[in-house]
Structure 1
Amino acid sequence: MSENTEDLLQGPLHEWHVGRGAKMAEFGGWLMPLQYDGGGVVAEHTAVRTAVGLFDVSHLGKAAIRGEGALDFANRCLSNDLGRIAPGSAQYTLALTETGTVTDDLIAYLRSETELFLIPNAANTAAVVAALEAAREAEGSGVEIENLHRDFAVFAVQGPLANAVMEAVGLPQPADYMSFVDATVSLGGSEIALTVCRTGYTGELGYEVVPTWADSATVWEALAAAVEETGGRAAGLGARDTLRTEMGYALHGHELSTDITPVEAGVGWAVGWKKEAFWGKEALTAQKAAGAPRKSVGLLATGRGVPRADVAVLDAEGNEVGRTTSGTFSPTLGNGVALALVDPAVQLGQDLALDIRGRRLGVTVVKPPFVQVNVKG
């Protein structure tokens, strides 16, 4: 957490979080809730796995690409193939550097051939927008690119009882995973326009609700009340991290970065390899053909201890064969888990060890996810 919180941006619900006893922490330059009084990370994590949780992730970026040729322009920039989806669908994709590493991973909402809405990570929004603007200038394209970071909030309703919450508030429930709807709903005596997408970062059935910044408090209050009535609770970003790690989901700054390619990170499925163009295609295609020097794996602790990020992964002879990118205690398993970038020769089922401040923690190489849940609801 930053020592000087005055320099951090605040979301639209800052006072609500503080009033509920939230422990606030820095996330991508924003002061956001890490956990709340009354249970902490484990209780909030468990609520999502067994009932429902509500996350404020309004620190996430928002941007738009609009105008004639917007779809084709975005498809020449971002890694995944937007031609695979239809309007009303969202797609996980990557903004790559020319060397094939990852500037950011983001969700692209395709509204039409002339309008896309993007949700990048908080700290990378400006970089993604700048890269799009540079590409527009280089092409001489007439598309409009707008940074909307503080125009919209983002709330995530996640867990097996997510549908009950959405029904109680009167929000739509898109039928298909990664589909979204734009809707107007009556809340607090007002007609509120918002977007609901069947996405999330926990592995559970869930939705991400995107209202305007101005309407965010009204929407959040309705969702929070419904979540509590359904037996769930508000959850901070600490639980969001343990939940995503259990699923083996990549997080920028850990499994993805400007030093790591999607091939190394195991997210090559988010690359439209047959497309004529995307940022970093030449370098990434060459790495894929030659074989990446590292690969991402899951590590399940076999001893007592909690794995951490950026510690050495050792083989039976004590040689370093990689480094962890994320590590945590899994509340669902009651065990330590980690993600790591390791030598390609490392095999599933192999016994390794982590060097945690000079102490060896035994781990076994596994294929994520670490827990089995109904990812698509």
Structure 2
Amino acid sequence: MAETMQKRTPLYDRHMALGARMMRFGGFEMPVQYTSIIDEHLAVRQAAGLFDVSHMGEIFVRGPRAFEFVQQLITNDASRLYDGRALYTVMCTPEGGVVDDLLVYRFDAETYLLVVNAANIEKDFAWMQEHNSMGAQLENRSDEIALLALQGPAAFTIARHFVPDLSPDNPRYYHFRVMEPGTFLGCRWAVLSHTGYTGEPGLEIYCYADEAANVWDALLEVGQAHGLKPAGLGARDTLRLEAGYCLYGNELDESTNPLEAGLSWVVKFDKGHFIGREALLRIKEAGPARRLIGLVLEARGIPRAGYPIVDATETPIGQVTSGSLSPVLQQGIALGYVPNQPAYTEPGQPLGVQIRRQILPAHVHKPPFVKLHKK
């Protein structure tokens, strides 16, 4: 059987020229690292990193009933949005399982942008079409739009070379700015969004795919003096894990619900109907059967997805969903699901992770695992 053709982002040639190690991810050939994951990770924590995240999906929702459509599709409350405001949310099945986690941007009362995970673009678009009884206009623009993430404490300093009035307060966290044509590196269309997946302050920059290389080159050139380094998916994963952020396919999927994943803050029952509301209400009333927890290993070792989590008697009680060596702590850290009981979920509780035939001691730690810079 022929192998599925992997897509390439508009920056593929830039990654190859920088000597990136490439891997398949979400149907794309993506850079996993340029120098080393630890080097790139620490650059983001201490200065800045530049990521190509053009594999993410961009779906526009337009029309007089666009708000109504978005509101029933997501668990969070879209009525809290105003022009230039974004929010994080999930879409659920009627049974409460997570279809995807996503960002929702409001451009105006009849224009919303939904940013979804790369591996889920087709699935999500089909889900939206299936549940579009409002006749909203849906456009999958994923192939035309590139996305770069400039992240780290020096991110805004670097971006100010191109937009002098940018700051962490302008736009504020989870706010964005649509640039006038030509005012950001000559781009015909660009959106600067104060969001990110690293736990550090920074911008996510949307532009047309054919203008992405110019933006990438300009940011790297100016950023060099501020410690900016290109960063791959490896560092993106260790950064989001230190921050305690969920990854779809690991902590989230259609067999998990947002309440057990620690995302009850994005589920607004008081907003009225949304897909999955009744199932999630039942789960809330009964209490989730399991809980996503953070773990810090007390001995040398690297926890990996699928490794068993054990209790004090060394009985398996759950499993790791994501794990790594924290480049900042130099300790193994993990996320994983365990039964929703205080003995397993309270910070400081002793548990263990089975790595091959050895059980390494660990304790429950509420994420984030490291101190993050103020956004």
Taking structure 2 as the reference length, the TM-score comes to 0.95
The one-letter code matched in structure 1 to 2:348 is: G
* Aligned residues of 1:172 and 1:196 also touching (Cα < 8 A): no
Indicate yes or no: 2:156 matched with 1:158.
no
Show the counterpart of 1:329.
325
What is aligned with 1:359?
Answer: 358
Please give the alpha-carbon distance, in whole angstroms, between the structure 2 residues aligned to 1:172 and 1:194. 16
Decide which moves more: 204-213 or 172-181: 172-181
Kindly provide the CA deviation profile for residues 151-196 of structure 1, in whole angstroms up to 9, marking residues without a partner as x: 10000010111111101233763331000010034466x4532001
* CA–CA separation in structure 2 for the residues paired with 1:299 and 1:172: 40
The 1:50–1:181 alpha-carbon spacing in structure 2 relative to 1, beyond 3 Å, is: same
Query: 3-state DSSP class of the match of 1:239?
Result: helix
Q: Distance in 2 between matches of 1:36 and 1:65?
A: 36
**What's the counterpart of residue 235 of structure 2?**
239
CA deviation vs aligned residue, 1:23-59 (integer Å, no higher than 9, x gap): 001111111100003xx10000000000011000000
Mapped pair 1:28 → 2:37 = no
Of 90, 99, 103, the match for 1:103: 99
Residue correspondences, number? 367
Which region of structure 1 is more displaced relative to structure 2, 236-245 or 311-320? Answer: 311-320
Question: How many Å separate the matches in 2 of 1:228 and 1:256?
Answer: 36
Q: CA 1:91 to 1:25, structure 2 compared with 1: closer, same or farther past 3 Å?
A: same
Q: Hey, what does 2:108 align to over in structure 1? A: 112
1:7 maps to which residue?
5
Amino acid at match of 2:284: K
Give 1:318 deviation, angstroms.
1.5
Cα distance in 1 for partners of 2:216, 2:58 equals 18
**Distance in structure 1 (CA, Å) of the matches to 2:7 and 2:315:** 43
CA distance in 2 between partners of 1:364 and 1:142 (Å) = 50
Mapped contact 1:166–1:172 kept (Cα < 8 A): no
Q: What is the alpha-carbon distance in structure 2 between the residues aligned to residue 21 and residue 175 of structure 1?
A: 34
Confirm whether residue 204 of structure 1 aligns to residue 200 of structure 2. Answer: yes
SS at match of 1:215: helix
Match of 2:310 in 1: 314
> Is 1:148 the equivalent of 2:141?
yes
1:69, distance to aligned residue in structure 2 (A): 1.4
Q: Give the equivalent residue in structure 2 for 1:341.
A: 337
CA contact (8 A) 2:88 2:101 kept: yes
Q: Equivalent residue for 1:283?
A: 279
Deviation at 1:348, TM superposition (A): 2.1
Amino acid at match of 1:170: V
Alignment partner of 1:60 is 2:53? no
- Which deviates more, 69-78 or 168-177? 168-177
1:66 and 1:152 mapped to 2: Cα distance? Answer: 17
Kindly indicate whether the alpha-carbon contact (under 8 Å) linking 2:47 and 2:154 is maintained by their aligned counterparts in 1: yes
Runs of 4+, deviation exceeding 4 Å: none
For 2:20 and 2:187, the matched residues in 1 are separated by 30
Corresponding residue to 1:130 among 118, 126, 139: 126
Structure 2 gap segments, 5+ residues each: none
Percent of aligned positions that are identical = 38
- Deviation of the 1:365 alpha carbon: 0.6
In 2: Cα distance, 1:366 partner to 1:241 partner: 19
- State TM-score, norm by structure 1: 0.94
Q: 1:191 to 1:213 in 2, by over 3 A?
A: closer
Q: How far did 1:319 drift?
A: 1.1
C-alpha change, 1:191 and 1:43, in structure 2 (3 Å) is: closer
Indicate the RMSD between aligned Cα atoms, in angstroms. 1.5
Q: Secondary structure at the match of 1:94?
A: strand
SS in 2 for 1:146: strand
Distance between the aligned counterparts of 1:179 and 1:75, measured in 2?
19
2:295 counterpart of 1:302: no
Q: Give 1:276 shift.
A: 1.4
Residue aligned with 1:263, SS? coil
Q: Secondary structure at the match of 1:323?
A: strand
Letter in 2 for 1:169: F
Find out whether 1:218 has 2:211 as its counterpart: no
Secondary structure of 1:296's counterpart equals strand
Asked whether 1:180 is paired with 2:176, we answer: yes
Q: Cα gap change, 1:108/1:172 in structure 2, threshold over 3 Å: closer, same or farther?
A: farther
> Are the counterparts in 2 of residues 169 and 226 from structure 1 also a CA contact under 8 Å?
no
Gaps of 5+ in 1: none
Q: Counterparts of 1:239-278 in structure 2 under 5 Å?
A: 239-278=235-274
- Distance apart, 1:269 and its partner CA: 0.5
- Larger deviation, residues 304-313 vs 223-232: 223-232
* Shift in CA distance, 20/172, structure 1 to aligned 2, threshold 3 Å: farther
Determine the C-alpha separation between the residues in 1 that align with 2:212 and 2:114: 18
- Aligned mates of 1:171, 1:286 — CA distance in 2: 50
Output the amino acid matched with 2:108: S
